[in-house]
Amino acid sequence: MEFQQIRDRLVLAALPHVVFDGWSTKALTQAARDEGLDPTLAERAFLGGPVDAVEHFSDLADRMMAEDLALVDMTTLRVPDRVYLAIEARLKRWAPHREAVRRAMAVLALPPHGTVAMQITFRTVDAIWHLAGDSSNDFSWYTRRATLAAVFSATVLCWLDDESEDGADTWAFLRRRLADVGRITSTRKRVAAWLKTLPKPGRVFAR
């Protein structure tokens, strides 16, 4: 069995235990026992400790999001709708394990883990943009990911506390945030186009 598969199994098996024990060595060790594996394998699989397991959990979620969207024809959809579907698919899959996600965010919120938290968020939004068909290679590559990172993070927080039926409040919130981003982007493009029509400063002030 490949090392990544072992880590996948351990993370998934740990989810029920994380609810009670958090992302901890205890939860991961119990997961190994549940899978019929050597209990010491948990520590060897995640040498960085619980935060390493949380990082792998996010990576697994990114991969599963891509698998889910591979079953959806998005060729006729606008980019914002593709982004919406990607985020929706990612969160819906983990709805039964919302508390485990909450515990994961608590681990990442600790000061020593700030860099890991940023890396995890960046990888996720980068994966979402790729799934949405983004092929930019200029400065917009950065701005799009920074913008989506804010939208994604806010949506996750909304989702964690959402008690509405089928997460209706979360999906409405996500739609509004993406619409806001669309309006800002549209305005920025119009301003940029207008600025290009203006004479160069040197010509205005030339005598």
CATH number at residue 79: 1.10.357
Is residue 201 domain-resident?
A: no
- Report pTM: 0.86
Q: Residue 204 is which amino acid?
A: V
Domain count within the chain: 2
pLDDT band at 185 (very low <50, low <70, confident <90, very high): low
Is residue 175 domain-resident?
A: yes
Cβ atoms of residues 170 and 162 within 8 Å? yes
pLDDT band at 192 (very low <50, low <70, confident <90, very high): very low
Q: Which of 197, 85, 60, 91 is nearest to 154 (CA)?
A: 91
Listed in sequence order, the residues at least 6 apart from 157 whose beta carbon sits closer than 8 Å to its beta carbon are none
Residues 40 and 72 both lie in one domain: no
Cβ atoms of residues 93 and 64 within 8 Å? yes
Q: Which of 102, 71, 104 is nearest to 89 (CA)?
A: 71
Is residue 89 domain-resident?
A: yes
Question: What mean pLDDT is reported for the chain?
Answer: 89
Residues 18 and 94 both lie in one domain: no
Q: How confident is the model at residue 1, as a pLDDT?
A: 64
Residues 83 and 128 both lie in one domain: yes
The interaxial angle of helices 114-131 and 98-108, nearest 10 deg, is 130
Residues 85 and 122 both lie in one domain: yes
Q: What is the dihedral sign for C-alpha 108, 28, 161, 71?
A: positive
Two structure tokens written together for 186: 């549209």
Is residue 55 domain-resident?
A: no
Two structure tokens written together for 48: 């960085």
Residues 78 and 132 both lie in one domain: yes
Say yes or no to pLDDT of 91 above 90: yes
Is residue 202 domain-resident?
A: no
Give tens-digit pLDDT for 133-160: 987 777 788 888 999 999 999 999 999 9
Q: How far apart are CA 141 and CA 143, in angstroms?
A: 6
Is residue 205 domain-resident?
A: no
Q: Which residue has the higher pLDDT, 134 or 199?
A: 134
Residues spanned by the domain of 120: 61-196
